[in-house]
A = this chain, B = another copy of it.
Amino acid sequence: MRIGNVPIRIDARVTVTDVARQAGVSQPTVSLVLSNNPKARVAKSTRARVLQVAKELGYRPNLLALGLVHQRSFALGLIVPGFANPVYANIVSGAERVAAETGYAVLLCETELVNAAHHLQALIDRQVDGVIIAGLAAATLPQEDLRRLNVVLINQPSETYSSVAGDSLAAGRIAAEHLLELGHEQIAFIGPSTSLPAFRLRERGFAQALQAAGIAPPSDYWQRADASVDGGRKALRALLTLGTPPTAVFCATDIIALGAHKAASKAGLKLGSELSLLGCDDIEMNTLVSPELTSISVPQRELGALAVRQLIQQLDTSTEVSTHILPVKLSKRGTTGRLRRR
């Protein structure tokens, strides 16, 4: 890292020393007053004067210096694959809110283009107090770095690290039950080719529930797609070309489901009657398409928020590794319906 040619300091800041001088006391005294340390026994008049002067001068503590002393930066790293996906946008949003309320800064890292391990190292160099990781398998990161950090994983149950997740297994099950209740028997699945734990669990929950109902989809019905709109589109097209196409499809993510939605509409299928389509995540876009996409709601903002809370608690109390599972629920909309023959 190179330092620029010209100092960027625009305006000298007020420091404790300035306050001390102005108030006619020693610098540590000011520190004592300002840190309202419980065992700080300062004369009332002194305290009042210091506070008064600090206010007048507009004193603000330098968090860099504070961090150095306390070995604590009050900053959190947040690593996500990308914001293009509203799922992560929501998670970030929830996390940022809680962090801001608690006085923590959020250092944002997008791993779409920049190497995740690189990002992690940069966060460590900045002495972040902890890291939250979403949409990225923790196993793919250098463990020796990860282990010396406070970590909370999102949507990725783990034995080594704390985690906060939506109930992915239940999500799959609920999806299956919904389609079964509607009378479907020819049920297909489209999942992303990325092997994130959450997606695997959704898939497993779905498969198990089908099995429990005595339904065994042919292998053609089990599609793997690129985790994008286009991936979903292609996968659904493939399903439609089968000898006996499915009457219902569950997509492991809404992004894929929206691609499938597009493909189905283009093929002239009436969603909700001729073909039932069900997504998972429940992103806001779902209500923009027509018919609106039925989905399994995963509380993304809450996941982000809870992750920060959990992380801070871990920092404050050295709590042990913990796992939180948040409930998910069906959001019934227009793309799923009772089976009707074409």
One digit per residue, 1 when the CB lies within 8 angstroms of any chain B CB and 0 when it does not, for chain A 2-27 equals 01111111110000000000000000
Partner of A124 from B3, B5, B60 at Cβ < 8 Å: B60
Query: Measured between alpha carbons, how far is A216 from B10 in the docked complex, in Å?
Result: 49
Evaluate contact between A84 and B10: CB separation under 8 angstroms: no
Evaluate contact between B110 and A107: CB separation under 8 angstroms: no
Evaluate contact between A4 and B317: CB separation under 8 angstroms: yes
A:103-138 near B, CB below 8 Å: 103, 105-110, 112-114, 118-119, 121-122, 124-127, 129-130
Q: Is A82 part of the contact surface with B, judged by Cβ < 8 Å? A: yes
Distance between A192 CB and nearest chain B CB, rounded to angstroms: 17
Q: Is A258 part of the contact surface with B, judged by Cβ < 8 Å? A: yes
Q: Is A164 part of the contact surface with B, judged by Cβ < 8 Å? A: no
Q: Which 7 interchain pairs have the tightest Cβ spacing?
A: A4-B316, A83-B89, A11-B148, A108-B108, A100-B114, A6-B318, A64-B67
Partner of A64 from B73, B119, B149 at Cβ < 8 Å: B73
What are 16 A-B contacts with C-beta separation under 8 Å?
A4-B316, A6-B318, A10-B149, A10-B150, A63-B126, A64-B126, A78-B108, A83-B92, A84-B90, A89-B89, A92-B108, A96-B108, A96-B110, A105-B107, A261-B288, A288-B288
Distance between A262 CB and nearest chain B CB, rounded to angstroms: 7
In the assembled complex, which residues on chain B have CB atoms less than 8 Å from the CB atom of A65? 68
Q: Is A159 part of the contact surface with B, judged by Cβ < 8 Å? A: no
Question: Assuming A10-B148, A124-B60, A127-B64, is B89 touching A84 (CB within 8 A)?
Answer: yes
A:140-154 near B, CB below 8 Å: 148-150
Evaluate contact between B84 and A100: CB separation under 8 angstroms: no
In the assembled complex, which residues on chain B have CB atoms less than 8 Å from the CB atom of A315? 4, 8
Dominant secondary structure at the A interface:
mixed
Distance between A38 CB and nearest chain B CB, rounded to angstroms: 11
Q: Is A245 part of the contact surface with B, judged by Cβ < 8 Å? A: no
In the assembled complex, which residues on chain B have CB atoms less than 8 Å from the CB atom of A121? 60
A:227-263 near B, CB below 8 Å: 229, 258, 261-262
Question: Assuming A93-B82, A285-B285, A289-B290, is B5 touching A317 (CB within 8 A)?
Answer: yes
In the assembled complex, which residues on chain B have CB atoms less than 8 Å from the CB atom of A75? 107, 126
Evaluate contact between B125 and A61: CB separation under 8 angstroms: yes
Question: Assuming A4-B315, A316-B5, is B288 touching A258 (CB within 8 A)?
Answer: yes
Distance between A231 CB and nearest chain B CB, rounded to angstroms: 14
Question: Assuming A10-B148, A89-B84, A285-B285, is B114 touching A97 (CB within 8 A)?
Answer: yes
Distance between A54 CB and nearest chain B CB, rounded to angstroms: 14
Query: Measured between alpha carbons, how far is A31 from B187 in the docked complex, in Å?
Result: 65
Q: Is A1 part of the contact surface with B, judged by Cβ < 8 Å? A: yes
In the assembled complex, which residues on chain B have CB atoms less than 8 Å from the CB atom of A317? 4-6
Distance between A249 CB and nearest chain B CB, rounded to angstroms: 17
Evaluate contact between A229 and B288: CB separation under 8 angstroms: yes
